[in-house]
């Protein structure tokens, strides 16, 4: 290694050592205060249980949204293209968010408070939020009457399975 290479190597080593020393001197993290109170509040809200609605909670249609119009275009901002939109293969949050707009499922969530803080599971394609007899290991759903694919073909339990 030449003289110029050794000087460059030495300068980089000194800079790296200085950066490590400064990192060791910092306290890191937050200092607490109002932010921690808000974080604690949010954590408690997220840990609250979600209720399972009854059949009458799963009846639609939902109330009309003031000012809403039928039709139009949904625009989704996305850095890259989606790998796929097959609901059986989606495993990342950005695809899952879009999926909740364009796909239907056996169940969904319904806001039960005006501020949107409380929700319950209700039937979407199913008549209710489902029933279980073995502590949640097996769930049974009954499909609503008259649900169809976009082409008019009836949706069956085999399609959902």
Could you report the per-residue pLDDT of 6-43, keeping only the tens digit for each?
Answer: 777 777 886 777 677 767 666 665 555 567 888 888 88
Measured in residues, the chain has a length of 161
> Over 60: is that where the pLDDT of 76 sits?
yes
- Rounded to an integer, what distance in angstroms lies between the CA atom of residue 143 and that of residue 150? 17
The predicted-structure confidence for 125-152, as pLDDT tens digits, reads as follows 999 999 999 988 999 999 999 999 989 9
Please say whether the beta carbons of 130 and 137 come within 8 A: no
Query: Which string of DSSP letters, residue by residue, matches 3-37?
Result: HHHHHHHHHHHHHHHHHHHHHHH---S---THHHH
Range among 1-5, 85-89, 108-112, 136-140 rated most confident: 136-140
């Amino acid at each position: 290694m030449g003289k110029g290479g050794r000087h460059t190597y030495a300068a980089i080593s000194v800079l790296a050592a200085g950066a490590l020393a400064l990192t060791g001197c910092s306290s890191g993290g937050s200092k607490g205060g109002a932010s921690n109170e808000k974080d604690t509040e949010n954590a408690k809200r997220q840990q609250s249980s979600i209720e399972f609605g009854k059949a009458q909670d799963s009846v639609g249609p939902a109330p009309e949204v003031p000012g809403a119009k039928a039709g139009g275009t949904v625009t989704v901002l996305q850095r890259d293209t989606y790998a796929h939109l097959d609901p059986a293969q989606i495993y990342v949050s950005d695809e899952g968010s879009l999926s909740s707009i364009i796909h239907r499922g056996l169940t969904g969530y319904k806001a039960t408070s005006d501020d949107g803080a409380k929700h319950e599971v209700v039937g979407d394609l199913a008549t209710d939020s489902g029933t279980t007899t073995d502590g949640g290991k097996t769930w049974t759903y009954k499909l609503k009457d008259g649900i169809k694919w976009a082409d008019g073909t009836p949706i069956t339990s085999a399609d959902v399975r």
